[in-house]
Amino acid sequence: MPAQSMEELVSLCKRRGFIFQGSEIYGGLQGFYDYGPLGVELKNNIKAAWWRSNVYERDDMEGLDASIIMHRMVLRHSGHEATFSDPMIDNKKNNKRYRLDHLLKDQKADVIAKVAAEMGESVDNFAAVVAALNAQPAKASEVFKTAGVRDPFSGEVGDWTEPKPFNMMFKTTIGPVADDESYGYLRPETAQGIFTNFKNVVDSTSRRLPFGIAQIGKAFRNEITPRNFIFRVRELEQMEIEFFVVPGTDEEWHEHWLEKRLKWWEDQGVPRGKIEILDVPKEDLAHYSKRTYDLMYDYPTLGHEEIEGIANRSDYDLGSHTKSQSELGLVAKVEENADSIAKLTIPHPETNKPVVPFVIEPSAGVDRAMLAVLSEAFTKETLENGSERIVLKLKPHLAPIKVAVIPLARNKEEITSVAKQIKGELQSLGLGRVLYEDSGNIGKAYRRHDEVGTPYCVTVDFDTVGKGEDPALVDTVTVRDRDTLAQERVKISELAQWIQAKLR
């Protein structure tokens, strides 16, 4: 059974070294997390699985790694300067600041119902209530007070300001000159690095439509209320594809990517049955979107929340950058062919005329993927002897440690040297991390490796080195299976092949 609560996951992540609070020794920094020894392995494995499936296993994809800090003009013409904001509201009594929709969602049902009624909206349409509050800020402030909206910090009814938009982009100065123009933004989505490199990739690879560009990287959002562990953070990582298609074929490709992405999640141990597909209502669509499917995974404690968005961005971004390029005089106007003033175009595969392609964008959060994968793998079992164990039943390709090699006696050179040799040999197979584990007794080592999801533990004992009672066991080791707990004696000479077959 998957994790029942977020607390279970948070506790495991901290205890076993998956995830720590950022800047913890100075009291922590809200919305920032550090990935520990096992977290970095799991995260890398998730990213590698995504890259393998979306880049290596397709013939219509290129990869990219663009810079994080971007020219302010990119984010101006992408629409982020004007629209990438969330509504915030302050309590004048204690100067606490909240994201309007989060604040409302956290109220008791009768308070939400009162607010909805006052704003003339159905309580069942939360998005419409929030939209009405944003559209009428003065009334929103009054209604929050009369309906009794409480401050989650003080527990008292707040003296609420009018909501106003808060732009979530992190701005930073660039270079030693601090004039008004010397600033850039930390990208709020990796996507813009793909759009701005569209022409570079097309020119250097001779790609024709349809094709995609994939990128994994950090993005930054100054969230008003970061919360729920790594679910909503200020420094996040995204796995994004911009898939460029001939206009008119976009809806078909949108369905293609929806299917592909659901299948990928399933391959990572996140079943379809746990993901609801939300066809995002028109009024909630991002400024660039023609249509978006949000994949809503059923997170423990939180319920269904977005793990990935699959958007049809139409020709919004390339079109907008093209337009601004030409307005800024960065692209020379070619009189004889008005179409070619557009820089970010590609020849139409049939007519050969320049066309601004449409874009389908599957965009998944790495941090949210970690939470989902951990949640699905988390299992509490009662064993035959009545004891309880926690085991992470991760798919082997995601497991942070593939094999732990354990010498039964850590002070016996004849045993440790064989264990070290086996570790070296298994490590060289390129399956991922193999750990030489001599930190405690065997029972504790098994418990620890169950909790971090190590598929196999290999134990070297006295029999292995001919100091035991059974001569038939010389040059063999015990291999313990994480899920079945079955223990098998395997010849050292056949071990690499045995492990390889099981893990692949």
Q: Is 420 helix (H, G, I), strand (E, B) or coil?
A: helix
Tell me if 221 is assigned to a ligand binding site. Answer: yes
Residue whose CB is less far from ligand GAP, 221 or 423 = 221
Tell me if 367 is assigned to a ligand binding site. Answer: yes
According to DSSP, the residues that pair with 136 across neighbouring strands are: none
Residue 331 tokens read as 């692209």
> Which DSSP string corresponds to 365-393?
EHHHHHHHHHHHHEEEEE-TTS-EEEEE-
Tell me the C-alpha distance between 168 and 224, whole Å: 8
Residue whose CB is less far from ligand GAP, 368 or 449 = 368
Tell me the C-alpha distance between 347 and 209, whole Å: 8
Tell me the C-alpha distance between 415 and 477, whole Å: 11
Residue whose CB is less far from ligand GAP, 62 or 450 = 62
Least distance (Å) between residue 149 CB and ligand GAP: 24
The answer to whether 373 and 269 are in contact (CB under 8 A) is: yes
Residue 487 tokens read as 């223990």
Residue 310 tokens read as 């699959």
Least distance (Å) between residue 366 CB and ligand GAP: 8
Q: Running DSSP on this structure, what letter comes out for residue 25?
A: G
Least distance (Å) between residue 167 CB and ligand GAP: 14
Residue 220 tokens read as 């930054």
Residue whose CB is less far from ligand GAP, 86 or 461 = 86
The answer to whether 91 and 163 are in contact (CB under 8 A) is: no
Tell me if 248 is assigned to a ligand binding site. Answer: no
Radius of gyration from C-alpha coordinates of the chain: 27
Tell me if 222 is assigned to a ligand binding site. Answer: yes
Tell me if 237 is assigned to a ligand binding site. Answer: yes
Residue 196 tokens read as 């701005």
Residue type, 387: S
Tell me the C-alpha distance between 239 and 373, whole Å: 15
Least distance (Å) between residue 408 CB and ligand GAP: 43
Least distance (Å) between residue 9 CB and ligand GAP: 15
Least distance (Å) between residue 238 CB and ligand GAP: 5
Least distance (Å) between residue 78 CB and ligand GAP: 10
Tell me if 231 is assigned to a ligand binding site. Answer: yes
Least distance (Å) between residue 194 CB and ligand GAP: 9
Tell me if 236 is assigned to a ligand binding site. Answer: yes
Residue whose CB is less far from ligand GAP, 144 or 299 = 299
Question: Distance between alpha carbon 80 and the CA centroid of its chain, in Å?
Answer: 21
Conformational region of residue 386, where left means phi above 0, alpha means psi within -120 to 50, and beta covers everything else: left
Tell me the C-alpha distance between 280 and 121, whole Å: 19
Residues counted in the chain: 504
Tell me if 307 is assigned to a ligand binding site. Answer: yes
Q: Give the count of beta carbons closer than 10 Å to the beta carbon of residue 446.
A: 20
The answer to whether 291 and 360 are in contact (CB under 8 A) is: no
Least distance (Å) between residue 316 CB and ligand GAP: 12
The answer to whether 146 and 139 are in contact (CB under 8 A) is: no
Q: Could you give phi then psi for residue 347, rounded to 5 degrees?
A: -65, 135
Q: Is 212 helix (H, G, I), strand (E, B) or coil?
A: strand
Closest CA to 502 of 381, 357, 402: 402
Closest CA to 359 of 325, 306, 321, 333: 321
According to DSSP, the residues that pair with 64 across neighbouring strands are: 215
Residue whose CB is less far from ligand GAP, 62 or 189 = 189
Residue whose CB is less far from ligand GAP, 361 or 463 = 361
Least distance (Å) between residue 428 CB and ligand GAP: 36
For binding to ligand GAP (CB under 6 A), which residues are involved? 189, 191, 221, 223, 232-233, 236, 238, 240, 306-309, 361, 363-365, 367-368
Residue whose CB is less far from ligand GAP, 307 or 391 = 307
Least distance (Å) between residue 214 CB and ligand GAP: 13
Tell me if 361 is assigned to a ligand binding site. Answer: yes
Residue whose CB is less far from ligand GAP, 240 or 437 = 240
Half-sphere exposure of residue 443, counting CA atoms within 13 Å on the CB side? 2
Residue whose CB is less far from ligand GAP, 365 or 455 = 365
Tell me if 189 is assigned to a ligand binding site. Answer: yes
Residue whose CB is less far from ligand GAP, 84 or 144 = 84
The answer to whether 134 and 163 are in contact (CB under 8 A) is: yes
Q: Give the count of beta carbons closer than 10 Å to the beta carbon of residue 348.
A: 16
Detail the residues annotated as belonging to a binding site.
99, 189, 221-223, 231-240, 306-307, 361-368
Detail the residues annotated as belonging to a binding site for ATP.
221-223, 231-236, 306-307, 365-368
Detail the residues annotated as belonging to a binding site for substrate.
99, 189, 236-240, 361-365
